[in-house]
Structure 1
Amino acid sequence: MFRWFVRAAVAVLAMGAVQSSAQEQTPLSAESFTREPAIWSATLSPDGRSVAAIQRSSQGDVLTIIDWRTRTAQITQLARTDRNLRLDWVAWKNDNRVVFSLTQEPVIRNQRIITEGSTRVYAANRDGSNATLMEAGGARHASAYAPIFVIDLLRNVPDEILLGSYSANGFAVYRANIGTGRVTSLVDFGEYNTAAMYVDSNGYPVMRVDYLTDNSGLRIYRRSPRQRDWTLAHEIRRSSASQNRFFEPLGSGPGPGQVYVAARSEGEEFQSIYLYDTATGNLGNPVFRHEGADVAVVWFDRNDHSVVVGCGEMQRWDCRAMTPDRQSLLDALRRHLPADVDIALQDVTADENFWLVSAHGPRSPASYYVYDRQNDAISFLASTQPQITAQNLAPMRIVDYARRDGTRLWGYLTEPTTPGPHPLVVFPHGGPESRDSYSYDFFVQYLAWRGYAVFQPNFRGSEGSGRSFATAGYRQWGRRMQDDISDGVQNLIANGVVDRDRICIVGASYGGYAALAGVTLTPDLYRCAISIAGVSDLVEMLNHERSEEGRGSAAYSYWLQVIGDPSANRDELIAVSPARHAADVRVPVLLIHGEDDSIVPLEQSEIMRDALNRAGRNTQLIEIEDEGHIWGAWSREHRQRLLEETDRFLAQHLAR
């Protein structure tokens, strides 16, 4: 089924596959903001001479080997789009050989699967020759379409990698030779519901993650090296994971039987990084923690498995190195790059002379650079969105404000570069136990490009600011959480930042609920609202969740805690359900919803549309065919339509 995977005719491109940092720019449009990344999975060769990456071409995904000094690139593999193939990632095994993942997408016609999809792993020489399929057990697969994936590259083993696949006996872990592709040994078996295995520094599986049979959570097992029997370490259910313990395996520790985990112990406000002992189950003391935020990012030395840098995400990333030498590296990178970007370490050579980093910020879609530490010089490699430059994008700033009870809150404000005050789009995030970040957002930047200021409030109930802050939003839908949004808007008005007569509230998922609540509970504050896959009736939404998941399910229990009980708290829920107050709406409302949304059903937007129609209010429902809940995962065409419909609606209702 992978017969259409083709080694490309070797082509050496001068400035073709590698972007110029000063490319000619074509005029922007909605399409410009919805393109897929032009490059991803960049990784530095062990000797630091080359970068392997996957790039997008008119024919499909190409694997390129880039000489970053001469800015030339060699295309070595092509996965043709017209054959439903895509390249997922690439990694160096050694200076001459790379490992990469290839997926064949399923072919679906008239809602019928014509051809199953699957994923395979290949190894190839840096020039594209000797491309070898990793067999991972051959006929012992559970089916011909069972995916194969890499568990560990086994950096200390010259010619082997560790693979995982679903076999007739359950989840199987194999060692395979990168030259021949053949299995050299069967390492271990899991269960049919095993989702992942984690190995220690010797490549031995010491931690296993299984889905619960009712898909309500995870079981995490541990064992000491060379033991066969597993011991249950944690059971994490959806109903309790968010407010109590948090435990996520990250990767190999420096010694046998050690795995790094991100965890939040009972009673702790923030999650930290621990070195977990799989033999004893001892979490020990944190190896990295941030006093004011969850640890959002951590980088490990791939040679000795030590922690290099950890970052807590507050209003921006706050990154700290574990040694003075590596802190000097971070400081040097900050000197070379703009002040409004945050830096992520991607790869490093064994001698630490060459570092591959990515930089991202509100006006900078992620871009790759190579840093030569010995010469203190940095070289631009490529941008994930080369059609957009900082000159096209609007700056973001952090706005602090006090809500009505004196609580200090903050949010992000993105303002067009033209003179203000500007019309304002209030853009609360989904979740609600999620957060916005100081980074590039295609939706925010498109609106700013069209002349709107965009406010993203960090209301109570958001994650990242501690458990107390998150749980302060429990059962506060339409109440404190909505007040936090309204108070942020009033602060901007009071400071003359925005045009008070031209404010619209727009959001997706929980943000869609907040948009509808905004125009029903505070009808004088907004000129219009757009709800994308939003909840409109809390009682009906909870009834749907109970019907789909079961009264005793962990998912339903979680929403009872977060929203309320439709039996015991029915009146309180009706009081903050926008569809029950449609007659209070005084402004136009646009509803957008994916037809295949399995999280917030389309019915929620239909309920709101019907209620607004009965009340004689101005509304429209746009149904997006074949799309689900996560709008960022919609097709490029549908993301573009989302931007254009939003712009059309705002232009109509926020005009002077």
Structure 2
Amino acid sequence: MNRQVSKALIMMLVFCFIFSTASFASAVSLNEAVQGYKDVPKDHYASKEIAVLSQRGILQGAEDGTFKPDEEVTRGVTALWLSRALKLGKPASLKGFVDVPETSEYASAINVLAEKKIVQGDQGKFSPDASLTREQMASLLVRAFQLKDNGINVWFKDEAAMGDSHFQDIIRLKQFFLTNQVEFMPKNKVTRAQLALFLYRAIMIGELETGQIPIEDFFRKSDVGSAQVSPNGVTYALLKSENNQNEIFVYTLGEDISKAVRITNSKDRSIEDFVWYDNNTIVYMTSSGGDEDYHIHSIQKDGTKDIDLTPYPKVKADILELYTKKPDYILFTMNKRSSTASDVYEMNILTGESKMIAENPGNITQWVTDLYGEVRMAMATEGTDTKMLYRRFESDPFETFMTIPFGDTFIPVMFSFDQSQLYALSNIGRDKLALVAYQFNTKSIVETIYENPDADITNIVVSFKKKAILAVEYETDKIYYHYMDDEFEKLNQEIAALVPGQQFRIVGNPLPDTKVFFRTYSDKSPGAYYYYNRKTKVMDKYADPQPWIKEEQMADMKPISYPSRDGRTIHGYLTMPKKVGTTNLPVVVLPHGGPWARDSWGYDPEVQLLANRGYAVLQVNFRGSTGYGKSFMNAGNKQWGRAMQDDITDGVQWLIKQGIADKERIAIYGASYGGYAALAGATYTPELYAAAVDYMGPSSMFTFLDSMPDYWEPDRQVMYERVGHPEKDKAMMEASSPLMNVDRIQAPIFFAQGLNDPRVNKKESDQMVMALRNRGIDSHYMVKNDEGHGFHKFSNKIDFYNALLKFLAIHLNNK
């Protein structure tokens, strides 16, 4: 989309601003180069492009010092410029076309391009003096720069006028943002200035400025992703990308990691995660095309007995408990019997034999096992309330022991070691989630183990050897621990002293006798894996997951806070680009998904990519986000596009008042709920944003709720309370649906969507794109047929981020 600009002349004027920060523009004054052509004034729409390409020796003017920018360019001149741009050298022969003599100034260029199958003739003739049409130019550029389909759906008003042989090539030009026009005018002749403009943009694809890091470096797979050690500490397994698929590799302690051997061969399904079951067996999860219908597999460490344990189409399976009283058995949940309800099964992981052991009556959303792998608890929805169910023995029926009203939270964490109590995170009777002990005999919370006044408790660290809780985790600006065990606290202090400025997490056993396995991380580093020897006090690096990421090149992520318009304190993070100053910057506002989630401090490749390209990045934990207590989260109920969006808007205004943001160069981009927030920002505060990016976000609150996946059905009433009721809250939901207020949108919007998305149906993007196009407003729309809720394949990620950066550069960086 081009901010409702569709006329060709105006488009050309707009295009003159694109790529104004190109690094290959030398220190020689561009004005001097332009003034070298008497007929190219400084304010000409292609003056910069003509100047830069002339400096590179690609273009040339006439002997009289003119460029003749408005003169129709010939096929011969086009071939000459293209061959220079591609640095193709000399052809094998100069006799490819009967109407191009060997003495022609175009002979070498035309023939070498023909040998590369970039140009074509007709019945042995090339017609070098013929004018070039716009559709012919499209085909030449696509062949020359090998522009492949990147999944972006584009639209022209004059598609009927395009020749069949050129149609897909014209589409490619728009897919790669070489044109943003709504009308392409395919039969029109191309002028010399226009060709210079398009050639410049094609050359710029893949060009990096000084200090810019390739997109691939931020998103390529690590050679030691998800590294895990077997229970006996002898064998290591890790996920590694091969042929754009995650595969499991194993190797033995003491061997070089480069000798790791692949044991899986995932042709049609992607490996999502894995875990060691015992010293010989690995259990792993797969999905297909992002559909989230997970399958459970088992495999031996030598690659034998690779079994799909749940080989059922359109069925979602999840591991519930790895360790039961039966050797070689696990517990898992599966919605095979009913798409809306997951039952519990036990299964032999060596044979795949399974049977149902607990049937879901239809409203159970979570099953809970005790320390011995027996299903002892369940959480069920009843309207908007949550029923907590318990049974003392597996042969007993479940009985309700507590009802949690909507707005309160009670999350089972684990049974106590004597099985008499349940440790849970609860905000019943308080604002923040606290770690509590619930006594089954008395049916009451008997102890508050730890409560933090500023943040919810998020996790606990447990030692099964000590049969004790070692620490409680909570998160404010960063993750912190409240220690409950002196030995564990001392261990963490020793490690912290060895990795100053880094956060870290212990992997596996939190208190091993000798070697502690842990991973570091920070805002500027994905971290590394280490071993710490508790006896010798020596730390050894195990592996760098992404050694190509250099901390000194990354930007600082700073915790920030500001007041909302109604007096709440809103927390978030601001990442500033390096070496471009701290004021009047282009900004990308990046609201998180969920929305019942939060942004956290740490290394984020997407944030770092944007900062590396010169953008300040604002992340806001708006009301409705988790971690800040019950009151803050519930303040987001039925506030989509309203107070939740106001919190984001207030953050942008805060940046403007601080002098950090250039108010003319602000974009909003998000995924899932963040995509909705991007649409809402463009809809309800159209004056605030120069551009928006909706990555798989809902566009209508009605169709979003109508198309929820079946397994969300038990929580439908809860969703009505959180989002809105289609009948009771109809007016509010209409007002908060960008689709129904599309006439308010002014900024260009880029859409991206996975075909197989089970959470946000593709219809959400389709209907928004069509609504804009019906108003005559174009929108680039990337669809990936092999993805679901988010792009996970490396090639798809690269396509998306290339398009994202190009879109932002056009509409933000170079206004």
Q: 2:452 aligns with which of 290, 294, 319?
A: 290
Deviation at 1:454, TM superposition (A): 0.8
CA separation of 1:582/1:46 partners in 2, compared to 1, >3 Å: closer, same or farther?
closer
Deviations 1:12-69 (A, max 9, x none): xxxxxxxxxxxxxx99432333334533443456676x5623141537634434546x
Equivalent residue number for residue 190 of structure 1: 358
Q: Write out per-residue CA displacement over residues 445-489 of structure 1, whole angstroms, 9 at most, x where no aligned residue.
A: 221222211101111121111110011122222222222111111
Q: What is the DSSP-based 3-state SS (H/G/I as helix, E as strand, rest coil) of the residue aligned with 1:365?
A: coil
Greater displacement, 488-497 / 295-304: 295-304
| Aligned twin of 2:321 | 151
Partner of 2:507, secondary structure, is: strand
For residue 616 of structure 2, the aligned residue among 433, 445, 453 is 453
What displacement does 1:625 show?
2.1
CA distance in 1, matches of 2:745, 2:490: 56
AA of the residue aligned to 2:409: R
2:752 paired residue number? 592
**Alignment partner for residue 396 of structure 2, among 229, 237, 256?**
229
Partner residue of 1:79 out of 238, 254, 264: 264
Tell me the residue number matched to 1:121.
Answer: 298
Query: Which amino acid counterpart does residue 222 of structure 1 have in structure 2?
Result: Y
> In structure 2, what residue type is equivalent to 1:610?
M
Residue 489 of structure 1 is matched in structure 2 by 652
1:56 aligns with 2:214: no
- Aligned with 1:376 (options 519, 537, 541): 537
Q: What secondary structure does 2:526 align onto?
A: strand
Indicate the structure with greater helix content: 2
**In structure 2, do the counterparts of structure 1 residues 196 and 342 end up closer, same or farther at CA, with 3 Å as the change threshold?**
same
What is the one-letter code of the residue matched to 1:594? G
Aligned counterpart, 2:779: 619
* Structure with the larger strand share: 1
Q: Which residue of 2 aligns with 1:299?
A: 461
Conserved in 2, the CA contact under 8 Å of 1:146 and 1:165?
Answer: no
Q: Which residue of 2 aligns with 1:311?
A: 473
The correspondence of residues 243-642 of structure 1 with structure 2, limited to 5 A, is 243-248=407-412, 250-251=413-414, 253-257=416-420, 260=423, 262-276=424-438, 282-339=444-501, 341-348=502-509, 351-365=512-526, 367-420=528-581, 421=583, 422-542=585-705, 544=706, 555-628=715-788, 630-631=789-790, 634-642=792-800
Find the aligned partners of 2:467 and 2:695 in 1 and give their Cα distance: 43
- Aligned ranges for residues 85-234 of structure 1 at < 5 Å? 86=271, 88-91=273-276, 93=278, 97-102=279-284, 118-122=295-299, 128=302, 151-153=321-323, 160=327, 162-164=329-331, 171-173=344-346, 189-191=357-359, 199-201=369-371, 203=372, 205=374, 207-209=376-378, 221-224=389-392, 228-233=395-400
- Of all paired residues, the percent bearing the same amino acid is 25
1:18 corresponds in structure 2 to none
Cα deviations by residue, 1:390-447 (Å, 9 ceiling, x for unpaired): 2342220012212233332221111221222331001111222221111222322221
Q: CA deviation at 1:621?
A: 2.9
Structure 1 letter corresponding to 2:669: V
Contact 2:587–2:662 (CA under 8 A) maintained in structure 1:
yes
1:252-292: per-residue Cα shift (whole Å, max 9, x none)? 532245554x3324333222334455666554323344332
3-state SS in 2 of match to 1:310? strand
Amino acid at match of 2:488: R
- 1:351-408 CA deviation, whole Å, 9 max, x = no partner? 5332111222322225322112223332222244344232342220012212233332
Instruction: State the one-letter code of the partner of 1:642.
Output: F
Distance between the aligned counterparts of 1:529 and 1:409, measured in 2?
22
2: distance between equivalents of 1:536 and 1:117? 27
Give the whole-Å Cα distance in 1 for the aligned partners of 2:702 and 2:230: 55
Distance in 1, Cα, partners of 2:600 & 2:377: 31
8 Å Cα contact 2:752/2:782 also seen in 1: yes
| Deviation by residue 1:287-346 (Cα, 9 ceiling, x = unmatched) | 34433222223221132332122210122112122122321222222222242x432221
Hey, what's the Cα distance between the residues in 2 that align with 1:436 and 1:165? 30
Q: Secondary structure at the match of 2:242?
A: coil
Within 1, Cα distance between the matches of 2:767 and 2:563? 35
Q: Deviations over 1:556-580 (max 9, x none)?
A: 4333323334444444333333333
Q: TM-score, normalised by structure 1?
A: 0.77
The higher-RCO structure (CA 8 Å, 6+ apart) is 2
Aligned to 2:24: none
Whether contact under 8 Å (2:384, 2:717) holds in the other structure is: no
> Residues of 1 paired with 2:259 and 2:464: CA distance?
26
Aligned-CA RMSD value: 4.3
Quote the offset at 1:523 in angstroms: 1.9
Indicate if the aligned counterparts of 1:251 and 1:259 stay in contact, CA closer than 8 A.
yes
List gaps (5 residues or longer) in structure 2.
1-210, 338-342
Distance of aligned partners of 1:117 and 1:106 in 2 relative to their CA distance in 1, 3 Å threshold? farther
Aligned AA for 1:649? F
The answer to whether the Cα contact below 8 Å between 1:530 and 1:591 also exists between their aligned partners in 2 is: yes
Residues 553 and 133 of structure 1, relative CA distance in 2, 3 Å threshold: closer
Change (3 A) 1:587 1:134: closer
Give me the whole-angstrom Cα distance separating, in 2, the residues matched to 1:279 and 1:566: 42
**1:29 partnered with 2:187:** no
Contact 2:592 2:674 in 1 (8 A): yes
Change (3 A) 1:485 1:73: same
Encode CA deviations 1:88-131: one digit per residue, 9 max, x unaligned: 434384xxx343115677799xx9xxxx995343555xxx59x7
Q: How does 1:635-650 map to 2 (within 5 A)?
A: 635-650=793-808
Mean CA deviation greater in 509-518 or 447-456: 509-518
Cα pair distance change 1:209/1:366, threshold 3 Å? farther
> What SS does structure 2 have at the residue aligned with 1:327?
helix
Kindly provide the amino acid, as one letter, of the partner of residue 784 in structure 2: I
Q: In structure 2, what is the equivalent of residue 23 of structure 1? A: none
Stretches of structure 1 that go unaligned for 5 or more consecutive residues are 1-25
Q: Is the 8 A contact 2:590 2:620 kept in 1?
A: yes
Contact 2:707 2:760 in 1 (8 A): no
* C-alpha spacing 1:186/1:401, structure 2 compared with 1 (3 Å): closer
The amino acid that maps onto 1:523 is: P
SS at match of 1:311: strand
Aligned partner letter, 1:477: W
Separation in 2 of the partners of 1:107 and 1:627? 5
8 A Cα contact 1:475 1:563, kept in partner: yes
The 2-side partners of 1:364 and 1:263 are apart by 31
Distance 2:378 2:757 in 1: 27
Q: Distance in 1 between matches of 2:400 and 2:513?
A: 36
**In the superposition, relative to structure 1, how do residues 634 and 218 fare at CA in structure 2: closer, same or farther (>3 Å)?**
farther
Q: 1:539 to 1:55 in 2, by over 3 A?
A: closer
Q: How many aligned residue pairs are there? A: 590
| Secondary structure of the structure 2 residue equivalent to 1:304 | coil
Instruction: Please name the residue that 2:12 is paired with.
Output: none
In terms of mean alpha carbon deviation, does 434-443 or 345-354 score higher? 345-354
User: What is the letter of the counterpart of residue 219 of structure 2?
Assistant: T
